[in-house]
């Protein structure tokens, strides 16, 4: 079946014919064909790049990345239809059309980010403060709960997340919202609503994009619907990854628990972790990292990394924790009653229930051999009692902390 993929992989430069894995993708991803038709392609099992007569560049990594994600979550193979990024035509207005970049992301949204930031990526192997002043972050509201989301919810989300990234002066925050079912999006009242919302979002350099049928491709793939995909221009140090995730978690936790949460010692501990990430000795030894009083640990990640930051509830106490490669560190512990009233109501946790209830933001670097560095993370609710929460997040961002 694969004999028409006759050439050796030009990425890994293997002389022998590489072992190829057959995949099926929508023809639309190859350029000019109908989105409903499928195309057979093959992947090099050594470097995982796409090989095809019809696509002579490594344009699509989706099949590989889905396969890697499936290994992690032990799911079944997804249908190829979920790869069709043409579902989001409204995004095209925000993207320059003269740049075409490889598709190596967990979802097509990162493709758009890379188009926008190709010039930053190519300037230098090391991101400079100047090049860091241009980035785009995406927030996605879960379409299944969108009917419960108010303008205030969306504005609070923009305000809370933007506050944590004040050091990025030119960050655009795009918030994707799917209109409730049976909404006449052409009506005057709907246009007025959009204008009102975007007016309130403007101070936070945010803009709302309304999309019909806004089902994320990975909803068909993963049970977790609140995903965070991060793309780094260079391999990050553990400090950079930890610092970035701490910043992001503080923004998301604040958006969920209320602004009063920022005054709580737990938030203070998270802020401290942004400025000075606490890396346990076991992790330092694991990566054979070296540091002294003058320099940060500078070694790049050479193996998969897993970071979790969360607020959870155990036996009447609220615990904020961070774990790096399963080495657990407590950032803070307090009584549930010590949290601000709004946060208590939002957490809505009763003593002696499941010990893993709470909010957890996790970060996983999948593999060290990728030519580009892709990472996936999940912002999840570990509690059935929180299933009535008003909104969920999906964020895609660039590391500039």
Q: What is the mean pLDDT of residues 151-162?
A: 72
As a whole-number percent, the residues of the chain with pLDDT over 90 amount to 0
pLDDT at 321 over 50: yes
Residues in a beta bridge with 262? none
pLDDT at 347 over 50: yes
Of residues 11 and 195, the one with the higher pLDDT is 195
Q: How far does Cα 75 stand from its chain's mean position?
A: 20
Q: What is the mean pLDDT of residues 87-110?
A: 30
| pTM of the predicted structure, to 2 decimals | 0.39
pLDDT at 298 over 80: no
Which phi and psi (to 5°) does residue 269 adopt?
A: -65, -40
pLDDT at 196 over 80: yes
**Are residues 319 and 312 in contact, defined by beta-carbon separation less than 8 angstroms?**
yes
Residue 36 has a pLDDT of 34
**Are residues 375 and 232 in contact, defined by beta-carbon separation less than 8 angstroms?**
yes
Q: What is the mean pLDDT of residues 222-226?
A: 29
Residue 250 pLDDT class (50, 70, 90 cuts): confident
Among 222-231, 232-241, 245-254, 372-381, which range has the highest average pLDDT? 245-254
pLDDT at 47 over 50: no
Listed by start position, the domains of the chain span 1-88, 95-122+133-290+298-401
Residue 222 has a pLDDT of 25
Q: Measuring CA to CA, which residue among 69, 148, 138 is closest to residue 387? A: 148
Residue 244 pLDDT class (50, 70, 90 cuts): low
Mapped to the 3 state alphabet, what secondary structure does the chain carry?
CCCCCCCCCCCCCCCCCCCEEEEEEEHHHHCCCCCCCEEEEEEECCCCCEECCCCCCCCECHHHHHHHHHHHHCCCCCCHHHHCHHHCHHHHHHCCCCCCCCECCCCCHHHHHHHHHHHHHHHCCCCCCCHHHEEEEEEECCCCCHHHCCHHHHHHHHHHHHHCCCCCCEEEEEEEECCCCCCCCCCHHHHHHHHHHHHHHHHHCEEEEECCCCCCHHHHCCCCCCEEEEEECCCCCHHHHHHHHHHHHHHHHHHHHCHHHHHCHHHHHHHHHHHCCCCCHHHHHHCCCCCCCCCCCCCCCCCCEEEEEEEEEECCEEEEEEEECCEEEEEEEEEHHHCCHHHHHHHCCCCCCCCCEEEEEEEEECCCCCCCEEEEEEEEECCHHHCCCCCCCCEEEECCC
Tell me the C-alpha to C-alpha distance, in Å, between residue 65 and each of 79, 108, 274.
14, 12, 29
**Are residues 48 and 61 in contact, defined by beta-carbon separation less than 8 angstroms?**
yes
The span from the CA of 77 to the CA of 73, in Å, is: 11
Which of 9-23, 138-152, 243-257 has the least mean pLDDT? 9-23
The span from the CA of 245 to the CA of 309, in Å, is: 8
Residue 81 pLDDT class (50, 70, 90 cuts): very low
Radius of gyration of the chain (CA): 22
Residue 18 has a pLDDT of 45
């Amino acid at each position: 079946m694969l004999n028409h993929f006759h050439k050796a992989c030009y990425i890994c430069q293997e002389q022998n014919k590489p072992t190829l894995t057959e995949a099926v993708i929508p023809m639309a991803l190859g350029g000019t064909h109908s989105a409903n038709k499928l195309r057979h392609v093959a992947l090099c099992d050594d470097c995982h790049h796409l090989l095809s007569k019809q696509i002579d560049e490594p344009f699509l990594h989706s099949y590989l990345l889905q396969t890697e994600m499936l290994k992690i979550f032990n799911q079944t193979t997804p249908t190829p239809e979920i790869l069709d990024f043409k579902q989001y035509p409204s995004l095209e207005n925000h993207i320059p059309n003269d740049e075409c970049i490889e598709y190596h992301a967990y979802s097509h949204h990162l493709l758009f980010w890379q188009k926008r930031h190709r010039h930053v990526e190519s300037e230098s192997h090391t991101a400079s403060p100047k090049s860091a002043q241009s980035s785009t972050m995406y927030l996605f509201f879960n379409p299944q709960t969108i009917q419960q989301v108010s303008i205030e919810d969306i504005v609070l989300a923009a305000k809370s997340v933007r506050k944590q990234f004040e050091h990025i002066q030119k960050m655009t925050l795009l918030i994707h919202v799917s209109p409730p079912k049976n909404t006449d999006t052409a009506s005057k009242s709907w246009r007025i609503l959009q204008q009102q919302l975007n007016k309130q979002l403007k101070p936070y350099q945010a803009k709302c994009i309304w999309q019909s049928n806004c089902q994320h491709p990975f909803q068909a793939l993963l049970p977790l619907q609140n995903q965070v995909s991060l793309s780094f221009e260079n391999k990050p140090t553990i400090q950079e990854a930890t610092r970035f995730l701490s910043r992001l978690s503080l923004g998301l936790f604040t958006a969920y628990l209320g602004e009063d949460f920022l005054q709580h010692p737990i938030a203070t501990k998270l802020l401290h972790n942004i400025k000075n990430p606490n890396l346990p000795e076991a992790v330092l030894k694991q990566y054979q990292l070296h540091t002294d009083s003058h320099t940060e640990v500078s070694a790049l990640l050479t193996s998969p990394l897993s970071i979790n930051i969360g607020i959870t509830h155990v036996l009447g106490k609220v615990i904020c924790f961070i774990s790096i490669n399963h080495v657990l560190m407590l950032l803070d512990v307090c009584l549930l009653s010590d949290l601000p009233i709004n946060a208590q109501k939002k957490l809505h946790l009763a003593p002696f229930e499941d010990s893993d209830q709470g909010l957890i933001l996790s970060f996983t670097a999948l593999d060290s051999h990728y030519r580009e560095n892709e990472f996936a993370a999940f912002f999840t609710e570990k509690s059935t009692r929180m299933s009535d929460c008003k909104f969920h997040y999906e964020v895609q961002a660039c590391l500039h902390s």
